[in-house]
Amino acid sequence: MSELTSAAVPPIGPEDHVRGEGEGLIVYADLGCPRCAAVWAELGARRRRIVFRHFPVASKHPRSPALHAATEAAGAQGRFFEMVDSLYADHGHIDDPHLWERAERLGLELERFEADRRSDAVAARVRRDFESGIRAGVGSTPAVFDTHGRRA
């Protein structure tokens, strides 16, 4: 099992999902969390560089793990942020058939989307972000940091 002792927020790395230009913000977010949806919309409007890191609190939002996996699967086909935007825009439709609908609307290859989102590799990728958040002391979502790892 992994080490979960305190550690600084990891700096932006090659694995990260980054969108936009300029001064960056690192956001640990739960795709099932309404507060995160509101903050996401606000951050989008501010047009800054944003790094999305997965922080599903599964006990609180049982669908979150599936939603985070769906974004990674979409990302494998180049549509990570589009899927994030889509999920945050509509929390009422997050069951599997709705995910397939979203995937189709984004032009994703459905069979590959399904295989990817259920894969161990995707689960591990999501878990890596989650654990970095735990180590950085994230206790509620969204948790926003600047690129130096300070709370923003």
Partner 1 sequence: MIAAGEPAPDFTLRDQDGEEVSLADFLGRKVLLVFYPQDFSPVCGDQLSIYQEVKPEIAEKGVELLGISVDHSWAHKAFREKLGIDTTLLADFEPKGEVARAYGSYLEKLGFANRTLVLVDEEGTVAWTHEAPNPGEFPGANVIFDALGPS
Residue ranges in contact with partner 1 by CB under 8 A: 1-7, 57-60, 62, 130, 134-140
Closer CB to partner 1, 93 or 140, in the complex: 140
Minimum separation from the CB atom of position 147 to partner 1 (A): 20
Quote the CA–CA distance of 127 and 122 in Å, as a whole number.
Answer: 9
Q: What are phi and psi of 145, to 5 degrees?
A: -125, 155
Quote the CA–CA distance of 88 and 81 in Å, as a whole number.
Answer: 10
The H or E element spanning position 115 is helix 110-117
Minimum separation from the CB atom of position 69 to partner 1 (A): 16
Closer CB to partner 1, 10 or 76, in the complex: 10
Minimum separation from the CB atom of position 71 to partner 1 (A): 18
The H or E element spanning position 49 is strand 49-54
Query: Which amino acid is residue 152, in one-letter code?
Result: A
Closer CB to partner 1, 32 or 75, in the complex: 32
Q: Is 52 exposed, middle or buried (0-12, 13-18, 19+ CB in 10 A)?
A: buried
Closer CB to partner 1, 110 or 124, in the complex: 124
Minimum separation from the CB atom of position 135 to partner 1 (A): 5
Dihedral sign, CA of 15, 72, 17, 3? negative
Minimum separation from the CB atom of position 59 to partner 1 (A): 4
Closer CB to partner 1, 6 or 97, in the complex: 6
